[in-house]
């Protein structure tokens, strides 16, 4: 139930990413709105939240009933997408240091000890991606890929995409558009937003494509290592 509720946020963010403002009409009016100041708890639920919870609960129910790796991976990917939307690093140095430290962390805790594998295998929840590798036995065997191996590099990939976008902006033109809208508050024609959207779509994405290629090769290398050493 906890994962179904948590998955609601991921389902909603994914729906809004693909549909834009199409469902804004059912996401404005609050059906539930309360807060408890003593424990700093606040809950606001809209009609769209209810629909997304139903989708998440059905998905979770299918996973609990079937224990299928397919439903596990769908839920895990939903969490990954939401995490990538919510997480933000201030600059490349933080991302580079984080990835470097996690590189050695993974080597030690995955290959040096059995800590990570024991935790991943011991928790029956969609906290990892499963890839079937052996159906011959009574119990199928799976290779595991932790969600951190997707989310943390994914944050760095998103930084590269943001950098490509910022490089394409004409700063002088952007400042003029912002100044124009600030001076004429009654005539907000949205030219600034249109300009940013056009640049986001048309900007060259060299850094983004390069780091995506590097990440793809790293994942291929990881899968090969798991198969060769039968570990993970």
Catalytic residue among 33, 49, 106, 230: 106
Active-site residue, 33 included: no
Could you report the per-residue pLDDT of 154-180, keeping only the tens digit for each? 888 888 888 888 888 888 887 887 777
- The CA distance from 92 to 109, in Å, is 25
Per-residue pLDDT at 232: 58
- In the chain, which ranges are E strands? 30-36, 41-46, 128-134, 141-146
In a domain, 103, yes or no: no
Structural tokens at position 1? 């139930």
Question: Mean pLDDT across the chain, nearest whole number?
Answer: 80
Say which residue the tokens 């991302």 belong to: 95
Per-residue pLDDT at 184: 66
- The CA distance from 43 to 33, in Å, is 6
CB atoms within 10 A of CB 177: 19
Per-residue pLDDT at 155: 83
CB atoms within 10 A of CB 153: 20
Could you report the per-residue pLDDT of 42-65, keeping only the tens digit for each? 777 888 888 889 988 898 888 888
- Which pLDDT band, with edges at 50, 70 and 90, does 120 fall under? confident
Per-residue pLDDT at 209: 93
Instruction: Enumerate residues 6+ apart whose C-beta is below 8 A from 227.
Output: 133, 143
Segment 189-205 mean pLDDT: 80
Could you report the per-residue pLDDT of 200-231, keeping only the tens digit for each? 888 888 999 999 999 889 888 877 877 777 66
In a domain, 51, yes or no: yes
How many percent of the chain have pLDDT more than 70? 92
222 neighbors 228 (Cβ within 8 angstroms):
no
Per-residue pLDDT at 185: 62
Instruction: Enumerate residues 6+ apart whose C-beta is below 8 A from 172.
Output: none
SS3 call for 56: helix
- Residue 107 pLDDT > 70, yes or no? yes
Q: Which residue, 35, 73, 31, is CA-closest to 52? A: 31
Per-residue pLDDT at 75: 85
Per-residue pLDDT at 229: 75
Active-site residue, 40 included: no
* DSSP string over 28-78: SSEEEEEEEGGGTEEEEEEHHHHHHHHHHHHHHHHHHHH--HHHHHHHHHH
- The CA distance from 221 to 232, in Å, is 13
Domain residues for the domain of 57 are: 1-66
Per-residue pLDDT at 213: 93
Segment 16-34 mean pLDDT: 79
Segment 89-94 mean pLDDT: 78
Catalytic residue among 149, 164, 184, 189: 149
Domains contained in the chain, number? 1
How many percent of the chain have pLDDT more than 90? 3
Q: Which residue, 75, 84, 79, 82, is CA-closest to 157? A: 84
Integer CA distances (angstroms), 90 to 78, 79, 129, in order: 24, 22, 28
């Amino acid at each position: 139930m906890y994962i179904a509720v948590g998955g609601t946020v991921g389902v909603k963010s994914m729906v809004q990413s693909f549909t834009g403002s199409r469902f804004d009409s059912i996401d404005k009016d609050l059906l539930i709105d309360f807060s408890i100041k003593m424990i700093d708890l606040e809950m606001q639920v809209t009609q769209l939240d209810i629909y997304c919870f139903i989708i998440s609960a059905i998905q979770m129910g299918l996973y609990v009933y079937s224990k299928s790796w397919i439903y596990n991976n769908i839920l895990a990917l939903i969490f990954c997408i939401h995490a990538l939307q919510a997480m933000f690093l201030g600059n490349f140095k933080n991302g580079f240091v984080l990835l470097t430290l996690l590189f050695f962390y993974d080597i030690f805790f995955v290959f040096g000890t059995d800590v990570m594998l024991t935790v991943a295998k011991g928790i029956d929840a969609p906290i990892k991606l499963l890839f079937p590798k052996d159906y011959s036995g009574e119990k199928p065997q799976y290779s595991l890929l932790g969600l951190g191996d997707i989310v943390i590099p994914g944050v760095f990939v998103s930084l590269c995409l943001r950098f490509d976008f910022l490089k394409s902006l004409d700063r002088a033109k952007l400042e003029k558009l912002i100044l124009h809208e600030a001076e004429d508050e009654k005539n907000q024609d949205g030219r600034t937003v249109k300009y940013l959207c056009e640049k986001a779509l048309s900007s060259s994405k060299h850094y983004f494509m390069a780091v995506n290629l590097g990440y793809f090769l790293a994942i291929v290398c990881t899968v090969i290592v798991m198969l060769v050493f039968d570990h993970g």
